[in-house]
A and B are shown apart, each in its own frame.
Chain A
Amino acid sequence: KQEVTQIPAALSVPEGENLVLNCSFTDSAIYNLQWFRQDPGKGLTSLLLIQSSQREQTSGRLNASLDKSSGRSTLYIAASQPGDSATYLCAVFGSSNYKLTFGKGTLLTVNP
């Protein structure tokens, strides 16, 4: 059964700092890995989708990497801002179960 783990569970940083969020998964049979953002009391917003054949994807200040063989992904946020404060969720789309499996998320707080 696929399991997705996100470390750390919570992170607090000062504004302007570069930071890395980590995601690991147990089954490397995946089609893609997705990073989502969830604001308090809101739904999920897709940030980046990395296909299993890709190594990284970039969108603005966000860069996500994927090492499928080791079962790891990182989300790099450059020059963090208070508006980046949210919970970040990692999810993998399995090629065996054909479903999205989510991690429990990292709660990020960027302090002004």
Chain B
Amino acid sequence: NAGVTQTPKFQVLKTGQSMTLQCAQDMNHNSMYWYRQDPGMGLRLIYYSASEGTTDKGEVPNGYNVSRLNKREFSLRLESAAPSQTSVYFCASSEGAGAETQYFGPGTRLLVL
């Protein structure tokens, strides 16, 4: 049982380049989330999808877009990367959009030069 998987594990981008971070879960969860983790800032919610076909902004959505491709997959896109987007990105999923336990992926480490 893989749980939540993320690709790539590590990526280096130049300012202005674009990329998509991929996330998939095999737990048949309805809700999925994207967080970023920065030193001294804790985890902050970027976007979330309460159910297939819906997406909503979190605390720090600027510079990002998301797609809930199907129930399993939730991608995060950086259209024009900036150094401020250097971070570790975590995808998570939960059974519902309520107060259930969230299950996290291993993270994607992104460096924007």
Please tell me which stretch of B11-19, B63-71, B73-81, B97-105 contacts chain A, meaning at least 4 of its Cβ atoms lie within 8 angstroms of it.
B97-105
Q: Is B61 interfacial (CB-CB < 8 Å)?
A: no
Q: Distance in Å from the Cβ of A89 to the closest Cβ of chain B?
A: 7
Query: Interface of chain B, helix or strand or loop or mixed?
Result: loop
A99 CB within 8 Å of chain B: yes
Shortest Cβ distance from A44 into B: residue = B104
User: Do the beta carbons of B90 and A31 come within 8 Å of each other?
Assistant: no
Once the chains bind, are A103 and B107 in contact (CB under 8 Å)?
A: no
Q: Chain A contact residues (Cβ within 8 angstroms of B): what range?
A: 20 to 34
- Among B42, B45, B101, the residue within 8 A (CB) of A99 is B45
B51 → chain A closest CB, angstroms:
14
Say whether B53 faces chain A, with CB atoms less than 8 Å apart.
no
- On whether A43 and B42 interact (CB within 8 A), knowing A31-B99, A93-B99, A99-B58, the answer reads no
Number of B interface residues in the complex (CB < 8 A): 22
Complex contact B90–A100 (CB within 8 A): no
Considering only residues 33-76 of chain B, those with a C-beta below 8 Å from chain A are: 40-45, 48, 58-59
- Contact present for B43 and A102 (CB under 8 Å): yes
Which residue on chain A has the smallest CB distance to residue B94?
A: A100
Establish whether residues B42 and A105, one from each chain, have CB atoms under 8 Å apart when the complex forms: yes
| Contact sample, A vs B, 21 pairs, CB 8 Å cutoff | A31-B98, A32-B99, A34-B101, A41-B107, A42-B107, A43-B106, A44-B43, A46-B101, A46-B103, A51-B99, A89-B43, A91-B43, A93-B99, A99-B45, A99-B48, A99-B58, A100-B45, A102-B42, A102-B43, A104-B41, A105-B42
